[in-house]
Chain A
């Protein structure tokens, strides 16, 4: 899908310490009904670490590296208050044409993994991109996200990004 590389030589960062929670392993392909069960919620209240673990190993659309390795996403960019989840990410360059894809991958991953009562807002680090307002408005428009998720070509690239998400920080 990408015909142009927006950042050919990104800076790499080592993953932070391993996740302390490895329950439920990979929830990537579980249906909502599975993650929704009372039992599941009782055992693992969702906190910022859990959300970060769900997202940290998503593959960058342009490089065989994770969002964590590229510092597109770090643990302290995730906040959870009640059922409100906020994720801020930092594109590797201000002109990154893949910011929409990265944001959509994060949204889709959380849509598939979190119980429905969780509300996700996505943001970008101020000044990290030339179109912060434009991109974040689109990513937070549920109708636009729903429509994008019905387009095979878009979901193909999203699913590629998500193919590594289940590693949750492990190599």
Chain B
């Protein structure tokens, strides 16, 4: 079983390394953020096997340092930015819809709380919660209130080092964080008390750069500086996600650190599989993995060597119209590339 990724667009624009590129879940927009402190928004149109990408807007964020991470709200109507300047920015269209090419974007809120570099930002699936993390070893959970007000409802100090990534479960209000302390932690809300950490996942030998739940919610994948990807699942057989999680499989392919993974819901090749996992790392390559039913094995189905000439910092799947699967990759080479899955 093989497939390939066809390069369909190369997006030039940032002056410095691109940290992330993320598809808008509702509109035909791709956003990227960079060490040049800007966010660039691209409008795209698809025609059969082609995709055309046009610059829609440049947000000069006003962040005083790199914009490290971005996250779209599930509505697609607001965008959060996490910066090394310790703040989080919330951006919304001034008028009109997010997908319109003429839309201007303004900062509707600036969230302060972290002591130093913010590393990641993530909206919950319902869009009612926002999670942030940073070098101050903390994870913050914010409630999204009307009129772009964000109220801190919990500060979790569970990690012993820099927290690199936060990501929400697709259906439950469960959060995962990944850290420089080589562990992952899972959190949920105790309605009678505060948010708490209910599981610590140990298995990686170095920094865990990224974590993502499978679209079905039954699995979790993490990638590390140690070059491994690990798939985890709950220890409980009843699929209850609250409780301990165990490693069910690990696989490697990249040379050096893996910085980002993304898990596509559909898998055109194998409908029984747990989606299709893409990974990108310091070797500039992109790998595609089919995670088999049960999550106990994974098969490498594609490897695009030198997808970028420098480190790949992020990969993100979008399920396009008409069944197409597109992957956006962002790199230290200053480029964002769009790849189409071909099977």
Contacts and interface: CB of A to CB of B under 8 A. Distances in A.
Interface of A: 116-117, 119, 137, 140-144, 146-147, 150
B66 A116 contact: no
Contacts of A143: 68, 119, 164
Contact of A147 (B84, B180, B256, B284): B84
Nearest to A116: B310
Interface in B68-97: 68, 84
A147 B282 contact: no
Contact of B207 (A119, A141, A146, A150): A141
B162 A144 contact: yes
A143 B119 CA distance: 9
A127 to B, nearest CB: 21
Contacts of B135: 144, 147
A142 B180 CA distance: 12
30 contacts: A116-B309, A116-B310, A116-B332, A116-B333, A117-B284, A117-B309, A117-B310, A119-B256, A119-B283, A137-B180, A137-B206, A137-B207, A140-B225, A141-B180, A141-B207, A141-B225, A142-B257, A142-B282, A142-B311, A143-B119, A143-B164, A144-B135, A144-B162, A146-B35, A146-B84, A147-B84, A147-B117, A147-B135, A150-B65, A150-B66
Contacts of A147: 65-66, 84, 117, 135
A26 B117 CA distance: 33
A117 B164 CA distance: 24
Interface in B205-227: 206-207, 225
Nearest to A121: B256
Contacts of A150: 65-66, 84
Contacts of A117: 284, 309-310
B226 to A, nearest CB: 11
Interface in B298-341: 309-311, 332-333
A144 B333 CA distance: 18
A146 B66 contact: yes
Interface string B194-208: 000000000000110
Tell me the dominant secondary structure on chain B's binding face.
Answer: loop
Interface of B: 17, 35, 65-66, 68, 84, 117, 119, 135, 162, 164, 180, 206-207, 225, 256-257, 282-284, 309-311, 332-333
Contacts of A141: 180, 207, 225
Kindly list the 5 A-B residue pairs having the minimum CB-CB distance in the complex, ordered from nearest: A116-B310, A150-B65, A147-B117, A147-B84, A117-B309
A119, A143, A146, A147 — most chain B CB neighbours (10 Å): A143
A146 B206 CA distance: 19
A146 B19 CA distance: 11
Nearest to B332: A116
Contacts of B332: 116
Contacts of A137: 180, 206-207
A88 B152 CA distance: 44
A119 B332 CA distance: 12
Contacts of A140: 225
Nearest to B65: A150
Nearest to B64: A150
Given A117-B309, A141-B207, A146-B84, 5 more contacts: A137-B207, A144-B135, A147-B66, A147-B117, A150-B84
A137 B207 CA distance: 9
B282 A119 contact: yes
Contacts of B66: 146-147, 150
A141 B135 CA distance: 12
A76 B180 CA distance: 31
Contacts of A144: 135, 162
A83 to B, nearest CB: 10
B214 to A, nearest CB: 26
B37 to A, nearest CB: 10
Nearest to A36: B309
Contacts of A119: 256, 282-283
A140 B225 CA distance: 10
Contacts of B17: 146
A137 B181 CA distance: 11
A15 B284 CA distance: 37
A26 B28 CA distance: 47
A141 B256 CA distance: 12
Contacts of B311: 142
B248 to A, nearest CB: 27
Nearest to B284: A117
A137 B66 CA distance: 22
